[in-house]
Amino acid sequence: MKQICLYITFVIQVGCATGKEVIKSDSIQPLNSLKYLISNVQVRGALLVGKFRDDRPTDERNWVAYTGMFNQETPLELDVSVSDFVQKRIQAGLQRRGIDVLGSSRFILMGSIKKLKVWENTNGWTPESSGCVLELDFFIFNSDRRLIYKGMASAMATGVNNILDTTDSNGPVLETCMQIAVDKIVDDSQFKAVLEFRSASSSHTL
């Protein structure tokens, strides 16, 4: 009976590692150890948020997690498209920083995702960790759909919430990247000048 139980346990463990890992985008929070990097700068103004097109190279669109007892290579993906995820996270990030993204505005923010990748370091020589890199171009159009400003934001983050299994940190490290990028957009002096945003107090509280 003991041998049968051990076999069943082994099958369950292997079976859990043969599916896919899905990042639940609505519930992720920044990585605990990197929250200090997010300034959450506050401004006042209004800006609509439009589509962020996924322009990543094809070979950078497949993410991998290493799961189970044997760190089996497992597909890693978001529960929504990357384009929808970036748009929603930027919209939420701008709103958290004092920008009205739900009302009316003469301007709309759109963008192009050049790079977005999440990975795991499980080489066995160093503690497990997760990483993320993000690069995007953003554009401001006026009500006539005329381009009035183009900028770029990038971010990189690595770390782990649980050193015993970094897979649970993939979502948090991704959210950290997104929030750092939103900080850079909002803190862009020309971005604020074009939109006539007013500076407010800064806060590190998430």
Tokens of 73: 């290579």
pLDDT at 162: 76
Report the distance separating Cα 17 and Cα 28, nearest Å. 22
| Dist CA 199 CA 42 (whole Å) | 6
Q: In sequence order, what DSSP letters do the residues of 88-103 get, joined into one string? A: HHHHHHHHHTTEE-SS
pLDDT of residue 8 exceeding 50, the answer is: no
List helix spans (H) across 24-156: 82-96
Residue 88 lies in a domain: yes
The number of folded domains in the chain is 1
How far is Cα 173 from Cα 119, in angstroms, rounded to an integer? 10
3-state secondary structure of 25: coil
Query: How high is the mean pLDDT of the chain?
Result: 85
Q: Is the pTM of this model over 0.85?
A: no
Higher pLDDT, 75 or 33: 75
Report yes or no on 205 lying in a domain: no
Nearest in space to 67 (alpha carbons), one of 34, 19, 103: 19
- For the stretch 71-129, pLDDT in tens is 889 999 999 999 999 999 999 999 999 999 998 999 999 999 999 999 998 876 777 88
Q: Is 159 inside any structural domain?
A: yes
Alpha carbons 47 and 109: distance in angstroms, whole number = 7
Residue 204 covered by a domain = no
Which residue's entry shows tokens 């005329």?
Answer: 146
Within-domain flag for 42? yes
Give the domain CATH number at 173: 3.40.50.10610
Structural domain that includes position 94: 2-199
Residue 119 located in a structural domain: yes
Does residue 206 sit within a domain? no
pLDDT of residue 200: 66
Q: What local confidence, expressed as pLDDT, does residue 4 receive?
A: 41
- Cα of first residue to Cα of last residue in the chain, in angstroms, is 51
Residue 160 counted as domain residue? yes
Q: What are the backbone angles phi and psi of residue 68, rounded to the nearest 5°?
A: 80, 180
